[in-house]
Structure 1
Amino acid sequence: MTTTSMVKPKFLSQPDQLGVVAVGFSGGQCKPGVDAAPSALIASGLLTQLHTELGYNLHHDNTVHSYKELMPESDPDVRGMKNPLAVSAVTQKLSEQVYTHAKEGRCVLTLGGDHSIAIGTVSGTAKAIRERLGREMAVIWVDAHADINTPETSESGNIHGMPVSFLTGLAKEKREDIFGWLKDEHMLSVKKLVYIGLRDVDRGEKKILRDNGICAFSMHDIDKHGIGRVMEMALGYIGNDTPIHLSFDVDALDPLWAPSTGTPVRGGLTLREGDYIAECVHETGSLIAVDLVEVNPTLAPGINDIGAHETVRAGCSIVRCALGESLL
């Protein structure tokens, strides 16, 4: 079987193969329910659609990983971080799982879970791309939030607001610290990072973005230029010869389209804009990995849980577009 996409992948040796990791983990934040997202996404038919409609051969162990066996008996705050040992253990294991897929030259889809899991997904693909292709990758981070707080700038202590600071080394971890397993081969350069959809950025994060010259497109930029021009600028910044890891937080979408998420922020992307971002990344031929995170089906505003159903549908749509679904 071959995929239905007409785009020729530049950095995948097995373009018709898709590694899938389902991560039922919510320890990076305090609201229960986001761990139920992978099961909800799969139950909606997402994996079946990727196989039967888009033509992917799936490499999936038919398990939603909760990683309960990795949970420590005691997990006190460290540097103000909540659940640091649990998050570190889970993301280290996830990094290994994603790496196993990515080193084989197949695209990797990770279904979260809260956005702290990106410490694992991005580090795993970064290591694999360095080993397999001898180059660095870029990350397009689609989110209402920058998730680049350090433990010292974070007001909440929730690690789902910090993954980028650990992945880029801005959190200044020592090798023996909580995330000391992150080595140079796992890391992401701040010059290879692009944000899209920002609209709720903490004061400390704004300073980090400015001080490090990080490429970021807020909703103001999308309102001003339109999503088409923003994607041209974002992809132009990355260039044509760089593998891309797309990490998509469903709260980038306006709550009208994705209400069932832990930190909704009004004034976000339409579903069509979210799909367009995913379509544009796919069309580059540079996509190597996709994360979909922060769907929380237990937060279900509306009659008969309609908010949860709409959020799951939106998440599935974004994944399908990233992996080659087109309107025509």
Structure 2
Amino acid sequence: MKVSLILASYDSGHYHGGMGQGPDALISGGLVDALTLAGHDVTVEDIGRVGDDQEREIATGFAVCNAVSGEVRIARDRGRFPIVLAGNCLTSAGAVAGEGADAIIWADQHGDLNTPETSVYGFLDGMALSTVLGLKPGMADAIG
């Protein structure tokens, strides 16, 4: 299988901060080698820094989604299977938007089903899956 690993190394708007170090750790830990040994043709695409240098959670989060959406589309156009490695839950909305996906594998420690009305803390990442599922119409409008 042709696989594109798409790295989005962000956590709450911070590049390579906190959980944003996860994608690099997976690559350093041998993910590419393991997939290659299993017979897959693997490329690694890194979205790099996006947006301005302010590292604002909401603005940067949606900029990451847009960048990931574009990389997923490129991978699919090239006949590749996109796998997005991210440290930010909201990035899933960009992955789904880029694929037009009707399925996603969700590996997270919590459900991310909050909306602005149900969130105790207003944490954007806690609203990621509800955004993907369209539970709060309009939240995903900023993602292409």
* Map 1:1-328 → 2, pairs under 5 A: 16-27=1-12, 32-51=17-36, 53-61=37-45, 63=46, 65-67=47-49, 69-71=50-52, 73=54, 75=56, 83-126=57-100, 137-173=102-138, 179-182=140-143
- How far does the alpha carbon of each residue in 1:247-272 deviate from its partner, in whole angstroms, 9 at most, with x for none? xxxxxxxxxxxxxxxxxxxxxxxxxx
The Cα shift of 1:139 comes to 2.9
Letter in 1 for 2:110: H
CA contact (8 A) 1:72 1:85 kept: no
State the secondary structure of the residue aligned to 2:141. coil
| Residue 100 to residue 85, structure 1, CA distance change in 2 (3 Å) | same
| Residue 140 to residue 87, structure 1, CA distance change in 2 (3 Å) | same
- Structure 2-normalised TM-score? 0.83
Letter in 2 for 1:154: S
Unaligned runs of 5+ in 2: none
The Cα shift of 1:94 comes to 0.8
Larger RCO (CA within 8 A; separation ≥ 6)? 2
Unaligned runs of 5+ in 1: 1-15, 76-82, 130-136, 184-328
Q: Which structure has the bigger radius of gyration?
A: 1
- How far does the alpha carbon of each residue in 1:129-166 deviate from its partner, in whole angstroms, 9 at most, with x for none? 6xxxxxxx223434442211112211122222111221
Letter in 2 for 1:70: G
Q: Tell me the percent identity.
A: 27
The Cα shift of 1:113 comes to 1.3
The Cα shift of 1:118 comes to 0.5
Letter in 2 for 1:71: D
